[in-house]
Amino acid sequence: MSTQPADGERFASFEAFYPYYIHEHSNQVCRRIHIVGSGLVIVAALLGLFVNAWWFAAMPLIGYGFAWVGHFFFEKNRPATFKYPLWSLMGDWRMFFETVSGKRRF
């Protein structure tokens, strides 16, 4: 399923949600911006561990900043984060690891 459930209904599982999540990232530029943002979140986490803990505060700004630019300017849709925050975060990382492992096209 690539469309949202009927009004007032929610996805029953992450596995049901993920095809919708991928559909909402159909634009290649949006996907690329997400992958770069997720990679930079990992860099910020490492900097937080080894350089300065303030980098941890930058992690959500970097991650959501890149993702929302991708959605608002390239995908022209509303990020799934607003309705499905946890599953959207899980989707971000699944898409990231599928991409860096070569299972999903960059």
pLDDT per residue as tens digits for the range 48-88: 999 999 999 999 999 999 999 999 999 999 999 999 999 99
Q: How many domains does the chain have?
A: 1
Q: Do residues 35 and 100 touch, judged by C-beta distance below 8 A?
A: yes
Question: For 42-47, what is the mean pLDDT?
Answer: 98
What range does the domain containing 94 cover? 28-100
- Domain assignment present for 12: no
In this structure, is residue 70 part of a structural domain?
yes
Residue 4 domain-assigned (yes or no): no
Torsion 72-85-98-22 (CA) sign: negative
Residue 71, both tokens: 């959605």
User: What average pLDDT does range 86-100 have in this prediction?
Assistant: 97
Q: Which residues contact 100 (CB under 8 A, 6 or more apart)?
A: 35
**What does the pLDDT read at residue 3?**
73
Q: Domain for residue 105, yes or no?
A: no
> Is residue 6 a part of any domain in this protein?
no
Q: What is the pLDDT of residue 1?
A: 46
Q: Does any domain span residue 18?
A: no
Average pLDDT over residues 39-52: 98
Residue 105 DSSP one-character state: -
Q: What's the mean pLDDT in 24-52? A: 97
Tell me, what's the pLDDT at 2?
A: 53
Domain-embedded: residue 15: no
Q: Has residue 66 been placed in a domain?
A: yes
| 93 conformational bin, left if phi > 0, alpha if psi -120 to 50, beta if neither | alpha
